[in-house]
Amino acid sequence: MLKTNLLYCCMKYSIELVDKIYSYKTISDKEKINRLLEIDAIQYTKCGIDSTKKELEVVKQNSKHIYKTIKKIDPEMGDSFLKHQD
C-alpha cells in the first residue's frame, strides 16, 4: 500500500486517471472508491491559504467528478458525497 500512496502523491489529478481507476477490472469496488477518495484528499491537502479562488474552484470541480464516478460504483455513497459537498 505504501508504494500506491507514494504513486498517488506524485500524480496530479486528471479525469483520465479517475476514469482509468473506474475501469479497472482487477480491483474491488471498495479499492476503487478508496483510491478515488485518496486522490480527492490529496487535492484538498495541497490547498492552502495562498490558493487562489480559481484553484479552489478547480479542486471543487475535480471533487464533483470524483463523486460522480463513485456514484457509478456505489449510488448511495456517491449521492451522499454530492449532497454534502461544500
d(CA 29, CA 59): 24
> How high is the mean pLDDT in each 10-residue block of the chain (86 residues)?
41 80 96 95 88 89 95 97 88
Please classify residue 66 by burial: count the beta carbons closer than 10 Å to its beta carbon, then call 0-12 exposed, 13-18 middle and 19+ buried.
buried
Domain that holds residue 59: 2-83
- Find where cell 502523491 sits: 9
* Domain count for the chain: 1
Helix axes of 15-23 and 53-73: crossing angle, nearest 10 degrees: 10
Q: Which residues contact 55 (CB under 8 A, 6 or more apart)?
A: 47
Q: What is the pTM of this model?
A: 0.81
